[in-house]
Amino acid sequence: MEPIIATQDLKKVFRLGKVDVPALRGVDLIVQEGEFLAVVGPSGCGKSTLLHVLGGLTSPTSGIVLVDGNDFSRMNDGDRTRFRRHKIGFVFQRFNLLPTLTARQNISIAQDIQGNGFNPHRFDAVVDMLGIRPKLNNKPYAMSGGEQQRVAIARAVICEPKILLADEPTGNLDTENSQIVLNMLRALNRSFRQTLLMITHNPEAAAVADRVVRMRDGRVVSD
């Protein structure tokens, strides 16, 4: 079976003023569909950059990046945006909910952007699975960190993406809420065969995944 993610000698170099900063120095990575992968490593090792490239938020400098059969290295920003809209969901460390919208609206806007209209059945299924129905009319400032992250997860999965990319999803949560969120991600993976790639520096969080990839200095050092 074709892997859902395949990178070969992936490099990403950032230009900061007159200085080139290599964030990824040749990453080879394979992720199968339905797999729950954790990427761990020290700060500055390139974990988040890898996530951003795989999510199409930024383009690779060189190398091959195949995501669900699409070569990101040959796609422009518009094409990657269109792909991301339909195939990729993001969960961030800082939740990144829109502060002026309620939980319901934060989730719905993902469907609005996708352009397939509001799907009430999918909405209800996701909301009930994540246990956030009582909070649907709350704005982010009226929710705890754990609740906000669950809303963010709901927003990420409402459009049934092929791949869920989570950047330190428990980084801003206490132990109890971290466990709740990790359990939710695990359930998504188990119940819906959701392909999940999670960045974390927390070994306990990484232990929840099927497989752990370690990075250092822009490279995969163990898989």
Collapse the DSSP code of 188 into the 3-class scheme (helix H, G, I; strand E, B; otherwise coil) and give the result: helix
CB count within 10 Å of CB 92 equals 19
Q: Which of 8, 61, 73, 96 binds another protein (CB under 8 A)?
A: 96
Comparing CA positions, the residue from 82, 61, 80, 81 lying closest to residue 72 is 80
Using CA atoms, how far apart are residues 88 and 4, in angstroms rounded to an integer? 12
Using CA atoms, how far apart are residues 57 and 52, in angstroms rounded to an integer? 5
Per-residue x/- marks for another protein, 40-79, CB under 8 A?
A: ------------x--x-xx-------------------x-
Q: Which of 15, 99, 121, 141 binds another protein (CB under 8 A)?
A: 99
108 belongs to the binding site for another protein (CB under 8 A): yes
Can you read off the two tokens belonging to residue 28?
A: 């080879």
CA dist list (Å): 22 to 10, 61, 80, 90, 135: 11, 10, 22, 24, 42
Q: Which is nearer to another protein, 1 or 16 (CB)?
A: 16
11 belongs to the binding site for another protein (CB under 8 A): no
Q: Which of 114, 138, 172, 202 binds another protein (CB under 8 A)?
A: 114
Which of positions 131-190 make contact with another protein (CB under 8 A)?
Answer: 155
Q: Which of 11, 25, 85, 219 binds another protein (CB under 8 A)?
A: 85
Check if the beta carbon of residue 63 is closer than 8 Å to that of residue 36. no
> Interface with another protein by CB under 8 A: which residues?
52, 55, 57-58, 78, 81-82, 84-86, 88, 90, 92, 96-101, 105, 108-114, 155
